[in-house]
Chains A and B, each alone.
Chain A
Amino acid sequence: GAGVSQSPSNKVTEKGKDVELRCDPISGHTALYWYRQRLGQGLEFLIYFQGNSAPDKSGLPSDRFSAERTGESVSTLTIQRTQQEDSAVYLCASSPSGGLQETQYFGPGTRLLVL
């Protein structure tokens, strides 16, 4: 079946502009994660959604970052007033129910470049 999809695949924006990144998880997966990977770094956790529970936003680096999820489907990550340090690959992952032993399935990522 279809895996996790993300759009756009690449985004170039100017400093100060807002951007919106989209993630479509695997159908039926209730857990959804956003990660960020800056050049030469490992993946950093940003935010986690699980069903109707309040999201875990503990990884969001600043209040310019926000994310929403519609039910158990699409999620959007919004970055307001982008800065050059926001340049990174933004990865989305989903898993069936967020369990400890579950595999997280990753999307192809959105490569964001802030000029």
Chain B
Amino acid sequence: AQRVTQPEKLLSVFKGAPVELKCNYSYSGSPELFWYVQYSRQRLQLLLRHISRESIKGFTADLNKGETSFHLKKPFAQEEDSAMYYCAIKRAGSNYKLTFGKGTLLTVNP
């Protein structure tokens, strides 16, 4: 079965500093990977997905199949980036349900 590991429960950085939220997955096939974000008092929403190779709100994530990682990065963190971030994986043949990591709470200090 696939598994997603987010090793950091909490991550605290200062405004303007680079940030990297780690995500490792275990699945031997070709998964689809996603980052979801939940801001305070808001619903869970998609931040980005690897298939799109896009940058959203300055965040990027590169799939590294060799290291089975999908780390989320932003060069200059902003206070409004403070939120809970979840890495998630989907694979074909699983009815496309998402398997989530336990999440990382990012706090960006002024």
Q: Which of A41, A43, A107 contacts B98 (CB 8 A)?
A: A43
Chain B residues within an 8 Å CB radius of A50: 95
Q: Is the CB of A56 within 8 A of B32?
A: no
- Residue B74 is within 8 A (CB to CB) of chain A in the complex: no
- Residue A52 is within 8 A (CB to CB) of chain B in the complex: no
Interface mask (B86-97 → A, CB under 8 Å = 1, otherwise 0): 101011100111
Chain A residues within an 8 Å CB radius of B103: 42
Q: Is the CB of A45 within 8 A of B102?
A: no
Chain B residues within an 8 Å CB radius of A44: 100
| Number of inter-chain CB pairs below 8 Å | 58
Q: Which of B36, B43, B86, B97 contacts A107 (CB 8 A)?
A: B43
- Residue A104 is within 8 A (CB to CB) of chain B in the complex: yes
The interface on chain A, measured as residues whose beta carbon lies within 8 A of the other chain's beta carbons, has a size of 28
Q: Is the CB of A100 within 8 A of B86?
A: no
A-B residue pairs in contact (CB < 8 Å), sample of 26: A35-B98, A42-B4, A42-B86, A42-B100, A42-B101, A42-B102, A43-B86, A43-B98, A45-B97, A48-B97, A50-B95, A59-B97, A95-B96, A100-B90, A100-B92, A100-B96, A102-B96, A103-B46, A103-B49, A104-B98, A105-B45, A105-B46, A106-B43, A106-B45, A107-B43, A109-B43
Q: Is the CB of B98 within 8 A of A45?
A: yes
Looking at the assembled complex, report how far the CB atom of A84 sits from the nearest CB atom of chain B, in whole angstroms.
21
- Residue B51 is within 8 A (CB to CB) of chain A in the complex: yes
What is the chain A residue whose CB lies nearest that of B30? A100
Looking at the assembled complex, report how far the CB atom of A57 sits from the nearest CB atom of chain B, in whole angstroms.
10
Looking at the assembled complex, report how far the CB atom of A94 sits from the nearest CB atom of chain B, in whole angstroms.
12
Q: Is the CB of A101 within 8 A of B32?
A: yes
Q: Restricting to B19-47, which residues have a CB under 8 Å from any CB of A?
A: 32, 34, 36, 43-46
Q: Is the CB of A33 within 8 A of B43?
A: no
Chain A residues within an 8 Å CB radius of B101: 42
Looking at the assembled complex, report how far the CB atom of B44 sits from the nearest CB atom of chain A, in whole angstroms.
4
Q: Which of A45, A99, A106, A107 contacts B99 (CB 8 A)?
A: A45
Question: Please, how many angstroms separate the alpha-carbon atoms of A31 and B51 in the complex?
Answer: 20
Q: Restricting to A15-46, which residues have a CB under 8 Å from any CB of B?
A: 31, 33, 35, 40-45
